[in-house]
Structures are given as C-alpha cells and as structure tokens.
Amino acid sequence: MAVLSDQGQHCQVALCHQRDFLPFTCDMCKGTFCLDHYRYSSHSCPKAGGIDNRALVCPLCSKGIKMIPGEDPNLTWERHVQDGCAPSPGTSPGKKAKCPVPGCREALTSSGSVTCGRCGLKTCLKHRFEEDHNC
C-alpha cells in the first residue's frame, strides 16, 4: 500500500472527486470539498441560498455597514449617515497626522512614530531623539 493512500477525503462535487488532504467542510450543507469547490457558489450549496455577507467600511467612522442584497449601495450609505454616523474623535477623513518638527512631512503611523518619554511629543522615527525635536 502506498504512503498516505488511505488519508484525506474526496471532494463531493460530482465532476471533481479530487482527493484532498486538507478538505473544507461546508458549514451549511456539511459536505466535504476541495480548495476549488469550498465556496457556496462553487459547489451549488442547496442550503446557502440568499446568503450574502458583503459589507462597506465607512471612511468616516470606520464601522462595517452590512449590505442588503439587491439594494443600491448608495442607499445603504445614506441610511448609515442619517442613523448617526459620527467620525472617530480626533481624526478627520483624508487628513493624516504629520511629524510636528518644522520642515518634516513624514506621516505618523502606528509603526512609524515614537512618543518622546521626556516631553510626550509624538514624532517620526527620524526625529525620535531628544536633540532632534527640541525636547
């Protein structure tokens, strides 16, 4: 007997039957499928009719907005704004924080910034030392 010939499972799609050593199990119909057929639409899942999990991410408040199947995304967006979309405090859309050192235009990102332990000023990595940012 060949090594691993008794391992894995066959894809349940009629024209496939590929043996897969890491098969996927559909959470709706409980069938076993290969990488090519694990999506609901790929194996024509009979129990997944009408399931649509798409969402928009609001650029103002960074919250996920569930898309309603068949509805215009613009209507979904307008409803979200009317229901009280509030921008995150201290941020404005499209405006990134910049290094406060005169002449520096570096954006302050979570991995590209340092808060000075002495004065508490948030600067870019280039100006992280006390002598570089008028501490």
pLDDT in tens, 29-50: 999 999 999 998 899 888 887 6
pLDDT at 53: 74
Phi, psi of 6 (to 5 degrees): -100, 10
The total of other beta-carbon atoms located within 10 Å of residue 102's CB is 7
Q: What pLDDT, in 10s, does the model give residues 5-32?
A: 778 899 999 999 999 999 999 998 999 9
Q: Which residues contact 40 (CB under 8 A, 6 or more apart)?
A: 26, 28, 48, 51
Q: Rounded to an integer, what distance in angstroms lies between the CA atom of residue 68 and that of residue 24?
A: 27
Q: How far is CA 16 from the centre of its chain?
A: 31
- The tally of CA atoms less than 13 A away on the side-chain side of residue 30 is 0
Q: Rounded to an integer, what distance in angstroms lies between the CA atom of residue 78 and that of residue 87?
A: 15
pLDDT at 18: 93
Please give the biggest Cα pair distance in the chain: 75
93-108 mean pLDDT:
85
- At residue 76, what is the residue type? T
Judge if pTM exceeds 0.75: no
Q: Rounded to an integer, what distance in angstroms lies between the CA atom of residue 26 and that of residue 37?
A: 10
Nearest alpha carbon to residue 93 among 127, 57, 53: 57
pLDDT at 2: 63
pLDDT(124) > 90: yes
SS3 label, residue 36: helix
